[in-house]
Structure 1
Amino acid sequence: MRRGRGILAVVVLAVALVLSACAGLPTSGQVYPGLPADADANPPDFSFLPDRPQPGATPKEIVEGFIRAGSGPGLTETWERAREFLAPEIRDKWKPTAVVTVDVLGDRVYTSAAEGSVSLSLVAVATVDDKGAYEQAEGGPTSLPFELAKQADGEWRITQVRDGIVLDRDVFPTVFHHYSVMYFDPTWSYLVPDVRWFPTGNAATRVAEALVNKPPSEWLADSVTTSFQGVTVLPSVPVDPSGVAHVDLSESALSVPPDTLDRMLTQLQASLATAGVVEVQLSVGTTPISASPVPVRSTRVTGPSLVLTKDGLGFLVGEQLQPVPGLSDVVKTVSPVSIQVTADRDWAALRLTDGTVWRQGADGSSDRVDARPGLVDPTIDQFHTVWSVPRSNPGALTAHLPNGSSVAVADAWPGATEVSSIAISRDGARMAATVTSGGSTQVWIAGVVRATDGTPKRLGAPVALGEAVGTGVSLAWLDDITLGALSHAGDTSQVSEQLVGGPAGSTAAPAGMASLAGASAVSAVRMRGEDGLLYVRRGTNWQQTASGILVLATQQGMPQG
């Protein structure tokens, strides 16, 4: 069968474990966020080598082979095998990474029209642009036209084709990997990741160029800042066997103030850590640049679940409840149905049984900030600003400031008819929500645009990350780049783990789940059932660990020190 001839041949070129890399690990200094425990920054060096054009192939077979060849970037990542299907006059002009269309293999339909004309109909699930930004596709069929002509040797070759490649969604993660390009929040206190997708080879160069030479993703651009102003990076970032990346900056870096250089190094080191780099050395030509990473606020959440029981608010360690100083005694007296605690555990945002939203302080202060009907569970940021919104009015998002005033947040969730949950990121730069739009439940993300004093002004244009099955129930940040969304469809529950700037995975959950929380730990997802049972995920299974849980609280980080 011709289909059998077109199956990709996987050629193992090299698999080497460089044990000496351990010698390059630093033993002191700033800790940078890297890859999740189950991720591999340096995948085995496999090269997918698709078939060459076959002698006597028809125009349709040439187009089919060209599309399959998109899965094989080759060792030089120039897609040289795919270029063999192109006529010589366009072979060097074609830009394979201008746009990546991610689709479902079984939906592809090739149609031959006039001689030398072929069209491919597909249903895109996502696209990746030339900056590496992943975006969910709107759906519906897309047609790609191809023009072909016979060459002097009598073989058909493609003479007209749009730039870019097409990858099946199951193949896409083997050709491209996601990396976090790190920016600062406007206070220079937190690092904010901007997820990009690049071919797995030469990742350090691509990540550095994205950070230094290109702008942030459009939806995030007004919510973050960068230390790289007027400085560029040369288009090669070699990484030695010990994991040290050598970054050569433009001559303008020689006039940059020391504190800015320190921030540059911080951004580069954190960004390149997601590509497996353990240390960054800066230079301008042959001149080394001295810099030290600046301290940044961690957004990790570790340790046991934070819960409310009949005994109060505390961390559940075995069967014991360890109280949160100041908050435990006051929170249990007000009967909350939702609790979110700040990183320093000195403030909490609560929704009570009567539906009102409160800000509770560890010092005993308690303020009702919103009494509008139909409010969803609130969220609180590092400025102790409490955010609330009515379920039936997504555009009425309001930020309640610590001084007692409130700000109507402009441009909140345009086009949404309902919002069921909101969650601000632990760095305060991104707001996520589960909304109803066009009759479906979707997870949206938007940048938070603030004044210089941190007061929220508006949300940026939202980006739809993915759909949730059924009705949205609860939303929580699992880590800096992953959202957990709990939804109900009939009698079943489902948890979606949505990468911010990437695809989502979903798992079935026990019926009757009421809320979820995340942590930077092996059991990253925790859920509470309507019956008060607490579950944690162990691999692909859900394990019941406690009962009598009145509220499963969420945390916005951990205390410093």
Structure 2
Amino acid sequence: MVLGVVVTGCGAIPRSGPVHRHAEPSPTATEARPTYLVDPAGPVPGAGPEQVVEGFLAAGTGVADDYSVAREYLTPELAATWHPDARTLVHRGEPSLVPRLEDGQYRLNVEVSAVVGATGVMERKPAGSTEVLDFEVVQVDGQWRIAEAPDATLLTPSDFEDIFEPHELYFADPDLSNAVVDPRWFPERTPVSTSIVRALLNGPAAYLRGAVSTSFPTGTTLAGSAVPVQDGTATVELSVPDFDPADIEVNRRMHEQLLLSLAQLESVDSVELVVDGAPVELGAARGEPELADEVTVPSRQVGLVDRQLVFYQGGQTEPVPGLPALDALQPSLPAMDAAAEHFAVVDGADGSLVTLARGEQPAERYSGTGLTRPSFDEHGWVWTADSAGTVRAVRAPARGGEPVRVEAQWLAARTVTSLRVSRGGTRALVVTQQDGVSQLWLAGIVRDGDGTPRRLNEPYRVAADVDADIALWLSDREFVAAPLGGADPVRPRIYDVSGQYEELPAIGGLTGLSAGNGPSAVYALADGTLHMLTGSAWAPQDDEVRDPAFAG
């Protein structure tokens, strides 16, 4: 299998259990030194203004001691106010530094593949995205120093991969039942635990706001300058407005968010929460987190044999009992809820969404051009998008009312080929195409209090400029994506939500995918035969069932 990172083309998805574990960087580590300039050179006496700007840019790899070497290239005034963590630009190709008309002024033109913000949120960029960075150089005590520079550092893809590591922050869904992963990227410097907690207190990424909840009251800040880790315990000292030490439920939820987010570090086994200088009371139940960080689906799939809905599992099929005949339809793209009580198909005759249930007649709910495969969420809604980017959802029962249009203005100029609601119901995984190129997106789902979906937030781009028509959840942190319809062999990819991916074995004639619980439950429909991913091969399973899908 081939491993990769969308930004750089190499890397790997951690596979060690439900919470990914990362080694906390140590200044006394005896491992081999990294290939990037961990100790970049400071300014050379007598260097010209252009050399100073170039040296400053090269010093962006020196993250230690708050970029102390890079600050040596700045005037004392700018060195005191420069914020290197505000933006990290990952560039393609060679940047171009040119002098401007005014003496001492320079402009850097650079093509960027990704930008990481101050809270670790990565924004991936499609090909052709550029940034302009302006600099002004003046003399200080006879040496050229930079008086104006953007709050940013510039890294090559390989340096970025060496310096930064993805980490998972955890928030909760609105009803506080499921944990929701929010991927962030931080430089691997001591201690990463501080970066994680500061970002957690800052709240979820923009694409998740309104779709998830946090346990920390507004205005909560880190009381100390760092989050120390000693003998496996991370001590988090907070300043919490209007803190009530007797509110055990809130205390436990804060502790749980911290534990889920910090336990991915190999150095952290437990969290001690301190507020106003005193350890927080958590009550008797202070063990394992209560939020479920995985929502699974049943092992059986729904598919079609001729025009009949069938269950498929382990190479066997059986008709779904109690459903009406579909002889009057041209059923395709079947779907079902987790309880296998409600079903949906797209009628190929007129492009309509049809819902079904035992003992009820098929109900046509609405129609559209190029409807995506229906997606059931845990609140009882069935979702589709059409090729023009219109997203609609309707309650699954035939008497569930009229469909609602889910606001998603960012889809207006894009062709949607796949939309899947996450198993916890908080995010939509969307594939769009524009000018023959696909983008993979995650968007938070904002709902009314009764669960009615209202809006897809402005999205987070998981992968830019890829070849994919479909993307399906494998868990709440992983999904599989692939192009469909071609005769040539293709390699589906398993992505995690940070954008890292693993390439699966090649398969030709791919026309469909289905995805259950994890990589061991990936199925491919190719040349009319259903295959199951088995190690590094695709094992044929069945040549009758078509369009199979797991619940969701």
**Deviation string, structure 1 residues 462-511 (Cα, Å, up to 9, x no partner):** 344434545x5322123323443322596543535555454667678423
Listed one character per residue, the Cα deviations across residues 442-466 of structure 1 (whole Å, up to 9, x for unaligned) are: 2233221111111112222334443
In the TM superposition, what is the alpha-carbon distance from 1:425 to its structure 2 partner? 0.9
- The answer for the alignment partner of 2:95 in structure 1 is 108
The amino acid across from 1:443 in the alignment is L
1:394 equivalent to 2:394? Answer no
Question: CA 1:341 to 1:171, structure 2 compared with 1: closer, same or farther past 3 Å?
Answer: farther
Distance of 1:155 and 1:537 partners within structure 2: 64
Aligned residue in 2 for 1:258: 248
The structure showing larger relative contact order (alpha-carbon pairs under 8 Å, at least 6 residues apart) is 2
User: Is the contact made by 1:469 and 1:487 (CA closer than 8 Å) also made in structure 2?
Assistant: no
Equivalences for residues 220-235 of structure 1 within 5 A? 220-230=208-218, 231-235=220-224
In the TM superposition, what whole-angstrom CA distance separates every residue of 1:508-544 from its partner, at most 9, and x where no partner exists? 8423212223455454754322422414274xx5433
Q: Do the aligned residues in 1 keep the contact of 2:119 with 2:184 (CA within 8 Å)?
A: yes
- What is the distance in 1 between the residues matched to 2:372 and 2:229? 48
Write the mapping of 1:126-525 to structure 2, written as runs, cut at 5 A: 126-137=114-125, 139-152=128-141, 154-201=142-189, 202-212=191-201, 214-230=202-218, 231-235=220-224, 236-242=226-232, 244-250=233-239, 252-255=242-245, 257-276=247-266, 277-284=268-275, 285-291=277-283, 292=286, 295-301=290-296, 306=301, 308=303, 312-316=310-314, 320-321=315-316, 328-329=320-321, 337-351=332-346, 354=349, 355-361=351-357, 367-374=362-369, 375-391=371-387, 393-402=388-397, 403-414=399-410, 415-437=412-434, 440-469=437-466, 472-488=468-484, 491-492=487-488, 493-500=490-497, 502=499, 509-523=506-520, 525=522
CA separation of 1:366/1:80 partners in 2, compared to 1, >3 Å: closer, same or farther? farther
TM-score by length of 1: 0.79
Q: Once the two structures are superposed, what CA deviation does each residue of 1:205-227 show, in whole Å capped at 9, x if it has no partner?
A: 22222222x13222211111122
* Structure 1 segment 27-176 matched on structure 2, within 5 A: 33-35=18-20, 40-42=22-24, 45=29, 48-74=38-64, 76=65, 78-104=66-92, 106-113=93-100, 116-137=104-125, 139-152=128-141, 154-176=142-164
Which residue identity is paired with 1:286? A
Aligned partner letter, 1:372: S
Shift of 1:302: 8.1
Partners of 2:404 and 2:499 lie apart in 1 by 30
Q: Does the CA-based 8 Å contact 2:368-2:386 persist in structure 1? A: yes
Identical residues among aligned pairs (%): 26
C-alpha change, 1:485 and 1:53, in structure 2 (3 Å) is same
Instruction: Please give the residue correspondences for 1:1-20 in structure 2 after superposition, counting only pairs within 5 Å.
Output: none
Provide the residue aligned with 1:528 in structure 2.
525
**5+ residue gaps, structure 1:** 1-30, 557-561
User: Is the 8 Å Cα contact of residues 301 and 313 (structure 2) preserved in structure 1?
Assistant: yes
2:449 alignment partner, SS class: coil
Alpha-carbon distance between aligned partners in 2 of 1:59 and 1:507, rounded to the nearest angstrom: 49
Taking a change above 3 Å as real, the CA distance of residues 287 and 211 of structure 1, as seen in their structure-2 partners, is: same
Cα displacement string for residues 316-353 of structure 1 (whole angstroms, at most 9, x for unaligned residues) = 2xxx5498xxx854679758543444445554444456
CA deviation string 1:262-289 (max 9, x = no partner): 2222222222233343322223213342
Query: Match of 1:196, as an amino acid?
Result: R
Q: Conserved in 1, the CA contact under 8 Å of 2:215 and 2:253?
A: yes
Q: TM-score, normalised by structure 2?
A: 0.80
The alpha-carbon deviation at position 125 of structure 1 amounts to 1.4
Stretches of structure 2 lacking an aligned partner (at least 5 in a row) = 1-15
Instruction: State the distance in 1 between where 2:313 and 2:24 align.
Output: 37
Aligned partners of 2:344 and 2:260: how far apart in 1?
31
**1:203-248 CA distance string (max 9 Å, x none):** 2222222222x13222211111122124444343222233x22222
Q: Which stretch shows the higher mean deviation, 475-484 or 333-342? A: 333-342
**Alpha-carbon distance between aligned partners in 2 of 1:491 and 1:288, rounded to the nearest angstrom:** 61
